[in-house]
Chain A
């Protein structure tokens, strides 16, 4: 057993007595408005007892577990409560899960992003379960007058073998809720887990398949108004004026006004990325009516000047941000990037004497890879419900990062943050986009202005043209070989608009004697934000495509070649701060080699491999492509994943499958472009998304079995698939793919896409 000190800065289970004495009551809402069925009502307890922020036990033994983090589809609403339930030692079928509201006094890190939910929740959530269990045991010990050490628990039952006494958790909950939180608790051994490691269905599955309201877009209250927004048509533009008369008198339209989400003296935080701080809001009686008025609104726009402001960095250090003026074009982006590829970059890492080795090389291979901006395109467009009354605000919206937007709402409304209640809606997708939650601020400002509850909805066009994109990137790889095709030196120089994708201390750094990494970046007024596995989502594809080509040049099997490099990194690492464990990296390559039968290829099946480490997890993937009727078809994908202990295996596989499909879709089709600052694609008629027909026919996700603490899963399967696909397509067509998206190039080869 592992003993855990409960005083590890966890608000969540130390404040039990304070909670029992009052404070805000969590909104026990039956999942945003669904009424319980009669059968459910019968099973409901007469009284609930709160053991800590996460756990409430009914007098009949029913358990409610609050899931702290916002749910955007990674299934944390099921897997995080599983961690609590495991250590609480209850029967999963007696557990009800509720989405917690944003409540920083009670929960740490209510943030969904960076694939960190399970990794960072692993000990705290289990400890929350274990402390509650210890309190139930203590209550039983007190009631029965026996030592707590002689008491055992199982499936929500407390037993004292010596006296034959037994009780359900519900019988002890009222006393347990009054007891002190123990200073130390024991956590279970992995071998004793009953819930963790056993697949549990999505707790919201039945609600999803029956269309129950769960999303902010589904919210409706008495007297609620509807709002649409109009933002500038291009990056680098701002509002000049609008003509109220142009839509007055249209059916159902109440008001039109402009709102500005930043006050002049407001110091922005890292997540205060917003493209258009000032927008026009149209308020009316229904969504359709405000959307119609939006089309008719006459507004004038003008070029925005260069702006400079201070913004807090990710860690908190403020930096000066400059947003350049001007209307940008994809063609000029490409030209400027081509220029920077030729210039020296900022040196990020150097091992040995790479420059010297390149000079004496027998052969130098150089390849440049690129990828465009990408829009997140969550299926549910940005929207939010807000009800501001006097100095109180209630906001219900899709956000990955409520803590990051609360201060912005506070300054925008001029309402103290303790009076701002943010309730967490299930999100129709996130992918990083909803870490930037200014749609909540916009809805709040509209509600404040009209003094009524409001639901604001972006159209798809608003959503796709509002920025916060994945940046456009470029990476140039060079390898120096001697006359025996031995690798002498390796050089990567990568940049982007407006950031570099380089992770300088990742593989193959550490595996090559002479290594150089350089980065560069170019400013832009096109806003960017986190997009599933930021930076990795490009650099993995470039690096792993280059290694494939290098292996071929060196006459080596691509898996063997990577394993040789990893052996070097393990036995005799080059340099310092290497950001990966070579043996775990090699482990996933070996597992994918076995599971894909790599060494027994089939005729007419073209295979590509790739491996990458990010978000603390290791993934190797093999993509099999066939060409059918002149069309490249992804037949199978095999993934091997080392993310430590897998909490909910089937859901974990689902997440991995989705990341693979997402990667294949973006590699083939993903692309946002600009003309005079305006996005050239604003809906799914032009922005091509992967659909049923293009999805792989089969995906297998295999997990390395080990006892390491869990690491990231939502992101790590995404980056490597770009190269596994490109390497597979090379085998199929004889052409290397350096530029994303691949579909236009495949079409130029007279293949059907």
Chain B
């Protein structure tokens, strides 16, 4: 066990955890930020996607000991009122079915648009390919990313 000072969603937080504990479980079990989801544990599904200094990363493979000097953003901190252009576009296109993967999809999409505000179809496929949606909402996700791109 060790104590870590973390910056999550703009807040400074202290956590006691084993250094190898993945951020996924620090967020979910220690900090009650459960919007970040567990899907596979091996960075293959994208359900646990968060932002580390603005980049999309899989929190299930990110040990708490590696993030002390970084800014972490989770789905809970993506916007103040759930009104990030990506979140609004998701509602406009009524994207979710079961909804479980969508926080990860939204975090990947938001990171993509931050670095590339006008992505092509291929850019979207490349940036989102690590996020599985078992319900198969891919066509709506792509449409929503394009809508969000227009409303940035």
Residues of A within 8 A of B (CB): 72-75, 199, 201-202, 204-206, 208-215, 217-218, 220, 226, 251, 286-289, 291, 377-381, 426-431, 457, 459-460, 650-651, 654-655, 657-662, 665, 683-685, 689-693, 695-699
User: Which among B21, B74, B96 is the interface contact of A205 at CB below 8 angstroms?
Assistant: B96
User: Who on chain A is nearest to B34 by CB?
Assistant: A218
**B129 neighbours in A (Cβ, 8 Å):** 691-693
User: Which among A428, A651, A665, A697 is the interface contact of B99 at CB below 8 angstroms?
Assistant: A428
0/1 string, B63-89, CB within 8 A of A gives 1: 000000000001110100010000100
* CB-CB nearest 5 A-B residue pairs: A211-B35, A661-B136, A428-B100, A73-B98, A211-B75
User: Which among B82, B94, B124 is the interface contact of A210 at CB below 8 angstroms?
Assistant: B82
Cβ of B91 and Cβ of A206 under 8 Å apart? Answer: yes
Distance, CA A208 to CA B124, complexed state (A): 21
Cβ of B131 and Cβ of A658 under 8 Å apart? Answer: no
Most buried by A among B39, B102, B131, B142: B39
User: Which among A288, A660, A691, A696 is the interface contact of B132 at CB below 8 angstroms?
Assistant: A691
Distance, CA A201 to CA B90, complexed state (A): 11
**B34 neighbours in A (Cβ, 8 Å):** 211, 213, 217-218, 220
User: Who on chain A is nearest to B137 by CB?
Assistant: A658
Interface of B is mostly: loop
Cβ of A699 and Cβ of B102 under 8 Å apart? Answer: no
Cβ of B94 and Cβ of A202 under 8 Å apart? Answer: yes
Cβ of A201 and Cβ of B128 under 8 Å apart? Answer: no
**A226 neighbours in B (Cβ, 8 Å):** 29
Cβ of B128 and Cβ of A654 under 8 Å apart? Answer: no
Cβ of A377 and Cβ of B134 under 8 Å apart? Answer: yes
Cβ of A74 and Cβ of B101 under 8 Å apart? Answer: no
Distance, CA A654 to CA B134, complexed state (A): 13
Please give the distance in Å from A701's CB to the nearest CB on chain B.
11
> With contacts A286-B29, A379-B100, A428-B98 known, is A73 near B90, CB below 8 A?
no
Distance, CA A699 to CA B140, complexed state (A): 10
**A662 neighbours in B (Cβ, 8 Å):** 134-136
Distance, CA A74 to CA B125, complexed state (A): 25
Residues of B within 8 A of A (CB): 1, 18, 21-22, 25, 28-30, 32-42, 44-45, 47, 74-76, 78, 82, 87, 90-91, 94-103, 106, 121, 124-126, 128-142
Cβ of B94 and Cβ of A692 under 8 Å apart? Answer: no
**A251 neighbours in B (Cβ, 8 Å):** 1, 18
Please give the distance in Å from A687's CB to the nearest CB on chain B.
9
Please give the distance in Å from B118's CB to the nearest CB on chain A.
18
**B101 neighbours in A (Cβ, 8 Å):** 379, 428
Cβ of B97 and Cβ of A692 under 8 Å apart? Answer: no
- 19 further A-B contacts with Cβ under 8 Å, apart from A377-B134, A379-B100, are A73-B135, A210-B76, A210-B82, A211-B74, A211-B75, A218-B34, A286-B25, A286-B30, A378-B100, A379-B98, A379-B134, A379-B135, A460-B40, A661-B136, A661-B138, A662-B134, A691-B132, A692-B142, A698-B139
User: Which among B1, B98, B106, B139 is the interface contact of A72 at CB below 8 angstroms?
Assistant: B98
**A381 neighbours in B (Cβ, 8 Å):** 38-39
Most buried by A among B21, B25, B96, B99: B99
